[in-house]
Amino acid sequence: MRVLSILLVSVGALSCADPVRDDAIAALGPETSTPGPTHRAGQPCALCHDGSTAPEFAIGGTVFATQGSLDPAVGATVELDDLQGNPICSTLTNSVGNFFLHASSCNLTTPFKPRVILGDLEADMSSRVGRDRSCASCHKGIAPTGKSVEGVYLNVGGM
């Protein structure tokens, strides 16, 4: 019986959740809509979509229409290119500006460079992405801080 108790405690310890990840998810605040493709716009998608509790994303993020606005860029193409400029995979933003690619449908290797296209507008990321699959891990909110850069946006309707 003692061996069984030790075994159960050991197995339980191996299956514990990641407290750092759990704290980061809790810091996002409560859900304000039904979980799905349009929830949590502007928040770091791959924090939850890491394959442990939700489908794994190769990448996920939100594109806004204009600088300083939370209006979505609907129907924008998000293209992921290798460092030579060759397309790896692409997807479209939805009604809240969210985009994502499931890991099973995009063999994304790092480093890569994202590009966002909507009509005649195009925004290329000036640096490469080498680690995080959540755009909002670096692009936080509509205004940059000392630890982040501005949200991803296009200047829809003007410059």
Q: What is the mean pLDDT of each run of 10 residues along the chain (159 residues)?
A: 43 61 87 88 88 89 88 95 92 96 90 92 86 82 59 65
pTM for this prediction: 0.80
What are the Cα distances from residue 51, in Å, to 17, 47, 94, 103, 129? 13, 10, 22, 9, 20
The domain made up of 2-137 has a fold known as: Immunoglobulin-like (2.60.40)
Q: What is the pLDDT of residue 52?
A: 84
Which of 95, 93, 33, 102 is closest to 63 using CA atoms?
93
Q: What is the DSSP string of 33-62?
A: S-SSTTSSTTS-GGGTTTTTSSPPEEEEEE
Most distant CA pair in the chain, distance: 73
Per-residue confidence (pLDDT) for residue 72, from 0 to 100:
93
Q: State the Cα–Cα distance between residues 139 and 130, nearest whole angstrom.
A: 14
Give the pLDDT confidence score for residue 116 in this predicted structure.
94
Q: How far, in whole angstroms, is CA 76 from its chain's centroid?
A: 16
Q: Which residue has the tokens 């489908």?
A: 55
